[in-house]
Structure 1
Amino acid sequence: MNFRHLKFFVATAESGQVSRAATQLSISQSAVTSAIKELEAELGTSLFFRTATGMEMSEAGRDFLASSREILEKLDQAKRMAHKQSPVKGSISIAATYTVIGYFLPPHLDRLKQRFPNLDIRISELNRESIEEGLLSNRFDMAVVLTSNIANSELETQTLAKSSRRLWAANGHEIFRQGKSTFEEIAKQDYIMLTVDEAAHTTMRYWSNSAYQPRVTLRTSSVEAVRSMVANGQGVTILSDMVYRPWSLEGKRIGTATTDLEIPSMDIGLAWRKGVEHSRAAASVIEYFNQTFLAPI
């Protein structure tokens, strides 16, 4: 048993699916599955029940989850102590989009603060166009963005994680029970369209690869509004695993299903102006993200 086993187990337990855990960890599904099987073999008990919709924890799994979280937290504390006297100081200006700030960046800001206590990190939330302009005019040192939306040739990007997109439907919906749906079937359903961070533009781009169009009944910039509408059976949507939660604010359940056509992932990463000479502070932040997402586990 090693930290890799525990990390993969906790990610699967918290996400409820091997595929989502693999997306969060930026590794293959087979690596997660193998690690869990090895862990179950060593413990001599099943940690999950495999179901049609994901991974349901066993009683032994729930007991082991608390211990695993505690071990990983102790490890994280030890790492923070090792970096407590970091000589890196100064300030860095980072821009980020709505989705990145809401669903990706906060825990990393906390870890960066622990690792570099003398570093002043300034965050600005803007849309992609404003972020690109700010990077090119040196108003920002770097940005954390949806790199799958960046097409400016004057910017350099580095993708850290890829989040799969899936169909969302209410738990009792026939599409959810089937576990898989075609774009032809989805086109017959009321569709809730998220508009923030160019989500609507991206949606129509991959719908154009089919012979169908979504029957949009609501456009909204609120992820929570989408979640509630879907959970209450008022439509379906296709969104990324990063923003997925299995329940709405009212506590109603949301399930996911795969589709017959491949949907591009939502890619999250860093961006900066090409040719820029990074300060020590900026280089340290980039190194942190590289170690967290791109270094071998």
Structure 2
Amino acid sequence: MHIEQFEYVIEVARRGNISKAADRLHVSHSAVSQAISSLEAELGIPIFIRSRSGSTFTDKGEAVLKLSYEIMNKITELKELGHHSKEMPGSLSISASAIFFSTFLLEAIKSFKLEYPQIQMEIDSNTLVPIIEKAKSFQTDIGLIMGPDETHKEVSRYMNARILYTIKLMVAVSKNSPLAKMDVITPKEMLNYPLVIRNERPNRKTWEDIFSRYGQGNILCYTNNDEVMKNVIANDLAIGFFTDLMKKDPLVVRGDICLIPYFDPIEVPNYHLICIQAKNKYSSIVEKEFIKCLLESIESYKSEL
């Protein structure tokens, strides 16, 4: 057995097929295919089911993947003993909700790369469930999500979950809306206007609770696209929930969108920005240092709100 074989297994799991894994690893397709076939022969079990649509794991292959991560975690741990952290080679993968990209994540990435220029970063924006699945299955090193107490409690059962920031829920309205001059907005007042709702389970659940207490609202649309939400609101087509972190958004700074505190006399849900990682994954120096940069960027961002 060779270390590269375990690395190849992990990369095929991340990419979904051998060709993409080979491209990412800068080796030939045949090198990856032969290395995995050799490992399968040595173990006496099939690891992947190969098809035109990609490579999927067999039941025994899932166990091989888990052990491959454990082996590579230990190798990373050993390598770190012989390197100063700022000279550490390697990579870091991050999957994050859109709110992170529109607030402090880019500043955290900038600070991190200045300190650790040799680290190759892979970053993607996604929605809640895919981010959780990618972090849980080791396809990404760090997942950054937004969700209420229930989400934090749920992911904490099978992942390492750390609350980075507890947000303040705000109602986003057009500058031309009659609600723009309000000091606070209640759910009853919101139900008098068309609504744009983020199409993720926790957000839908929040609105279902509101509807059950105060009556059904007029839903203009569901969307996960922040730009669509902001443009719908700025053009006075609907109102919706955003967070206090949006105060530095250009549409808010320019005055096209007004953010009004939300007040529900019965219950205001607590929403958090949460960092998640696989529970049995070794947290490398690189990952710890990035999270440190992220927390510093959050503090800096909060001080400017």
Q: TM-score if structure 2 supplies the norm length?
A: 0.59
Question: For residues 30-179 of structure 1, what are the structure 2 equivalents within 5 Å?
Answer: 86-146=86-146, 148=148, 149-150=151-152, 151-152=154-155, 153-179=157-183
Match of 2:220 in 1: 217
Give the percent of matched residue pairs that are identical in Structure 1 and Structure 2: 14
Asked if the contact 1:171–1:254 (Cα under 8 Å) also holds between the matched residues in 2, the reply is: yes
User: Are the structure 2 counterparts of residues 137 and 214 from structure 1 closer, same or farther at C-alpha, using a change threshold of 3 Å?
Assistant: same
Following TM superposition, by how much is the alpha carbon of 1:188 offset from its aligned partner in structure 2, in angstroms?
A: 1.6
Match of 1:20 in 2: none
Asked if the contact 1:147–1:270 (Cα under 8 Å) also holds between the matched residues in 2, the reply is: no
Instruction: Please identify the structure whose Cα radius of gyration is greater.
Output: 2
Following TM superposition, by how much is the alpha carbon of 1:147 offset from its aligned partner in structure 2, in angstroms?
A: 5.1
Gaps of 5+ in 2: 1-84
Alignment partner of 2:192: what SS? coil
- Work out the CA distance in 2 between the residues paired with 1:103 and 1:289: 11
Q: TM-score if structure 1 supplies the norm length?
A: 0.60
**Alignment equivalent of 2:198, drawn from 194, 200, 209:** 194
Determine if the alignment matches structure 1 residue 254 to structure 2 residue 219. no
Asked if the contact 1:94–1:140 (Cα under 8 Å) also holds between the matched residues in 2, the reply is: yes
- Paired letter, 1:263: V
Match of 2:236 in 1: 233
Match of 1:242 in 2: 245
User: Structure 1 stretch 202-211 or stretch 92-101: which is displaced more?
Assistant: 202-211
Following TM superposition, by how much is the alpha carbon of 1:156 offset from its aligned partner in structure 2, in angstroms?
A: 1.2
Match of 2:279 in 1: 274
- Work out the CA distance in 2 between the residues paired with 1:209 and 1:104: 35
Asked if the contact 1:230–1:237 (Cα under 8 Å) also holds between the matched residues in 2, the reply is: yes
- Work out the CA distance in 2 between the residues paired with 1:189 and 1:116: 49
Asked if the contact 1:183–1:210 (Cα under 8 Å) also holds between the matched residues in 2, the reply is: no
- Paired letter, 2:146: L
Following TM superposition, by how much is the alpha carbon of 1:258 offset from its aligned partner in structure 2, in angstroms?
A: 2.6
Count how many residue pairs are aligned between Structure 1 and Structure 2: 211
Gaps of 5+ in 1: 1-84
Match of 1:284 in 2: 289
Asked if the contact 1:231–1:247 (Cα under 8 Å) also holds between the matched residues in 2, the reply is: no
Following TM superposition, by how much is the alpha carbon of 1:99 offset from its aligned partner in structure 2, in angstroms?
A: 3.1
Asked if the contact 1:192–1:235 (Cα under 8 Å) also holds between the matched residues in 2, the reply is: yes
Structure with higher helix content: 2
- Work out the CA distance in 1 between the residues paired with 2:212 and 2:245: 23
User: Are the structure 2 counterparts of residues 260 and 275 from structure 1 closer, same or farther at C-alpha, using a change threshold of 3 Å?
Assistant: same
Following TM superposition, by how much is the alpha carbon of 1:189 offset from its aligned partner in structure 2, in angstroms?
A: 1.4
Following TM superposition, by how much is the alpha carbon of 1:158 offset from its aligned partner in structure 2, in angstroms?
A: 0.9
User: Structure 1 stretch 116-125 or stretch 282-291: which is displaced more?
Assistant: 282-291
Asked if the contact 1:206–1:263 (Cα under 8 Å) also holds between the matched residues in 2, the reply is: no
Following TM superposition, by how much is the alpha carbon of 1:246 offset from its aligned partner in structure 2, in angstroms?
A: 6.6
User: Are the structure 2 counterparts of residues 126 and 227 from structure 1 closer, same or farther at C-alpha, using a change threshold of 3 Å?
Assistant: closer
